[in-house]
DNA sequence: TGCAAAGTTTAGCCTAGGCTAAAAATGTTT
DNA sequence: AAACATTTTTAGCCTAGGCTAAACTTTGCA
């Protein structure tokens, strides 16, 4: 039985301790940061995918896949343009700039790592897709690397 | 070498295919849904933690830990009150309703599962905390169950 | 007890990201 | 070519969630 002399640092189950306030705050700040860029990333990634698969990215298709109205897409396209991620002319389909392509590529890769990781954990495809769509924006490079490695090992060792 | 006769369903590496538009839209809709509740959950969870650890939840402490201004907290508290999650009187600290306690407990558990899972994958504590803070809101029950199981196995089999 | 510091609330500003409705442009069909 | 359908854009409304500034209440200390 544990006694008062058993005074190793508390490694017990619960870990019910709060981090110091500053670290805690940084945690939430990181989440807020992710939320600032995540929708942009999803749009750019989707536009890249549409360009690859359909040859062009039309506002209608973006709206259908995003599950939002065209008006919402129109305003987002303007914002992407303002940020130098896409080029577009009125009533024509949308294209990625060099920067846009780079972001699309990076997002696509990261998204893929998370999706494959979930699958390799044993999560069914539909669920994995849903979870990955949200999780991808909250995964650090560190964790991403570990996920990549894990997936590889699973694939090798069946 | 693969030939035209090798016509099994494409199980190859890339998985570069897009889901059908409706499923794709449901993916993004799920993320939007999560975003609607996640800040509420974080506040309620934090208030519960403060009540447990400090005996009371004061707006100043919430603001410090959230990394936002007190004015931001004040308005959020009103919203939590509107939703029947907390009780509060002017210039007094905040308490959870029964519903609030239930949400806090559930969030705390789920948060813990994700955090422990990341740790058991080999992610360092600080990074795991940051990632978990965001990921927790995008993890389905299915995935959560798998994470729980994985963590247990890791702990058992060292 | 009274005053200063600390904590809380309110008002008002801003951006993001949904929406509808309506106008304008483009594409298709007869 | 005209009419109709589709697509795109614009204007304007709404909520969430940050912020600052200022007023107000409570608390702690001389
Ligand atoms: Mn993505
Ligand atoms: Mn996403
Ligand atoms: Mn949490
Ligand atoms: Mn969280």
Give the pLDDT band (50/70/90) at residue B2.
Answer: very low
**Is residue A15 a part of any domain in this protein?**
no
Name the residue range of residue A141's domain.
24-157
Output the pLDDT for position B14: 52
CA atoms within 13 A on the CB side of B60: 4
Distance from Cα A76 to the centre of ligand 2, integer Å: 15
DSSP B115-135: HHHHHHHT--HHHHHHHHHHH
Is B91 a residue whose pLDDT tops 80?
yes
**Is residue B17 a part of any domain in this protein?**
no
Cβ-defined contact of A65 to B24 (cutoff 8 Å): yes
User: Quick check: A94 and A88 in contact, CB under 8 A?
Assistant: yes
Q: Which residues of chain A have pLDDT under 50?
A: 1-13
Give the H or E element holding residue A86: strand A86-87
Chain A: residue whose CA lies nearest to B34: A134
Is B129 a residue whose pLDDT tops 90?
yes
**Is residue B13 a part of any domain in this protein?**
no
**Is residue B120 a part of any domain in this protein?**
yes
Q: Which residues contact A92 (CB under 8 A, 6 or more apart)?
A: none
**Is residue B12 a part of any domain in this protein?**
no
**Is residue B51 a part of any domain in this protein?**
yes
Rounded to an integer, the average pLDDT of B100-108 is 98
Distance CA B51, CA A8 (A): 27
Q: Which ligand is nearest to the CA of B106?
A: 3
The count of domains in chain B is 1
Output the pLDDT for position B158: 63
Q: How far is the CA of A16 from the C1' of C4 (A)?
A: 38
Chain A interface includes B10 (CB < 8 A)? no
Chain A interface includes B102 (CB < 8 A)? no
Cβ-defined contact of B131 to A150 (cutoff 8 Å): no
**Is residue B96 a part of any domain in this protein?**
yes
CATH number of the structural domain spanning residue B127: 1.10.10.10
**pLDDT, tens digit (0-9, with 9 covering 90-100), for B29-68:** 999 999 999 999 999 999 999 999 999 999 999 999 999 9
Distance from Cα B41 to the centre of ligand 4, integer Å: 7
Distance from Cα B106 to the centre of ligand 3, integer Å: 10
**Is residue B30 a part of any domain in this protein?**
yes
Chain A interface includes B44 (CB < 8 A)? no
């Amino acid at each position: 039985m544990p006694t008062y002399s058993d005074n190793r640092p508390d490694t017990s189950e619960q870990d019910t301790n709060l981090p110091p306030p500053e670290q805690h705050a940084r945690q939430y700040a990181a989440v807020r940061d992710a939320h600032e860029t995540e929708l942009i990333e999803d749009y750019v990634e989707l536009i890249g995918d549409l360009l690859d698969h359909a040859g062009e990215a039309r506002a209608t298709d973006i709206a259908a896949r995003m599950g939002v109205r065209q008006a919402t897409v129109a305003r987002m396209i303007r914002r992407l343009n303002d940020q130098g991620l896409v080029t577009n002319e009125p009533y024509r389909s949308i294209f990625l700039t060099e920067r846009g392509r780079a972001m699309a590529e990076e997002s696509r890769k990261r998204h893929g790592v998370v999706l494959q990781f979930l699958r390799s954990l044993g999560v069914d495809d539909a669920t994995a897709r849903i979870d990955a769509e949200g999780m991808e924006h909250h995964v650090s490079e560190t964790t991403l690397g570990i996920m990549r490695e894990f997936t590889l090992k699973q694939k090798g060792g069946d």
